[in-house]
Amino acid sequence: MREDTMADTSYKKAREHDQDDALIEFREEFYVNDEKIYFDGNSLGILSKRAEKTTLDALESWKQYGIDGWTEGANPWFYFSENLGVKTAPLIGALPNEVIVTGSTTVNLHQLVSTFYQPKGSKTKILADALAFPTDIYVLQSQLKLKGYDPEEHLVFVKSRDGKTFHEDDIIEKMTDNIALIVLPSVLYRSGQILPMKRLTEAAHERNIAIGFDLCHSIGVFPHHLHDWGVDFAVWCNYKYLNAGPGAVGGLYVHENQFEREPGLSGWFGSRKDKQFDMEHAMTPADDAGAYQLGTPHILSSAPLTGALELFEEAGLERLRNKSLALTGYMMELVESKLKGMGFSIANPREDDRRGGHVYLEHREAARICKALKAEGVIPDFRAPKGIRLAPVPLYNTFTEVWHVIDRLQKIMEKETYKKYENKRGVVA
């Protein structure tokens, strides 16, 4: 959106933005609850009609074929993970054989860290960021212990100067001679900062360090070029911006230059397809990313992704990115205009090339404000100790919804209705 139009914070202007939205028809593809405004798609995307259909198709195959569903029907289950990998690859700029849909973020990270973390000589440490999502740190601590190293000494953290974001030079400065592996997020889950994956990968490789990224908050948000950037590996979930449903199967990427590596963890579905049912105890691994699979694919947890990915192919990731930036840019304009002097600060990067898919507000009363928003029909996302994440998703959210959210937030603050609630998170936040 142009700066001169963004300065207009009227409801009329929000409606004009929606009228100009070339992607507005995709909202009809989703089960949108008109009584609520859902801005938590960066935690769990909502159900689309396509995802529902492909889930029902999988159930129908089970009903119709029984065990023969592994090899018969429109989407034989035996090749399900590989076929989904092919469909996912364009979202991250990977070759089709570099991607497999399998496991979960945590399981896949365990698999790839066990593969790429090969301490030798003085190169024994793992570099991570001090703002990482906890599961990534738990994985790294576990893998260090399994190899006999003390995480207190061998897990190195890049520290944030402001507690929200990182300076890329600070990360590169930590790439010292004793670092064997680097694991970083593509987008910081709190502040939404995009890390410069291309530059960080080049810097790591110049120092002979393997590097991988957690794409949970970036896949489906903006284009990636992992293959061309030379990124060694990546993991992600499919239930946030990709809308594959709660607990949906995750995904992983391994650069084709790394295919000669032996997976750190082995399981029979990592076998070459034509050898798997030979049932030999000497495994013949697949010669692509499929080698990193472990157990039998979770078909019913993968099926929604088939339909969900169709929408990304039709909408186009570049168009989705442009709308996402417009939505979050518009929201920041409204925050600065309508919430001025109310104790809010915008804690995400302002620049388009550094901002992910959500706006991150901080307020000392954040927990109770989120509860008040829910009472007003808005679904936000609280992050302790004082963060409010608001994610207007371009496939199904609108500019008028952005206007209504900030308008309701303004009224909550003016009327102090948030004070009815305890400033403490729920069991699940």
Annotated binding site for pyridoxal 5'-phosphate: 105-106, 133-136, 214, 217, 239, 268, 296
In angstroms, the CA 426 to CA 419 distance is 16
Locate tokens 């992704």: which residue? Answer: 305
In angstroms, the CA 237 to CA 206 distance is 29
Query: Distance from CA of residue 227 to its chain's centroid?
Result: 18
Token pair recorded at residue 244: 């594959």
Residue 341 phi, psi dihedral angles, 5° rounding: 80, 10
Q: Which segments of 303-420 are extended strands (E)?
A: 345-346, 359-362, 378-379, 381-383, 387-390
Q: In what order do the strands lie in the sheet containing 233-236?
A: 99-101, 251-254, 233-236, 210-214, 179-185, 125-129, 155-158
Q: Which residues are annotated as a binding site?
A: 105-106, 133-136, 214, 217, 239, 268, 296
Among residues 365, 322, 316, 368, the alpha carbon closest in space to that of 345 is found at 365
Among residues 141, 145, 75, the alpha carbon closest in space to that of 299 is found at 75
Locate tokens 């700029």: which residue? Answer: 93
In angstroms, the CA 318 to CA 366 distance is 33
Q: Which amino acid is at 107?
A: V
Is the link from the previous residue into 385 a cis peptide, with omega within 30 of 0?
A: yes
Among residues 228, 413, 273, the alpha carbon closest in space to that of 335 is found at 413
In angstroms, the CA 367 to CA 386 distance is 7
How does DSSP assign 108-162, residue by residue?
HHHHHHHHH---BTTB-EEEEETT--HHHHHHHHHHHHHTT--HHHHEEEEPPSS
3-state secondary structure 164-233: CCCCHHHHHHCCCCCEEEEEEECECCCCCEECCHHHHHHHHHHCCCEEEEECCCCCCCCCCCHHHHCCCE
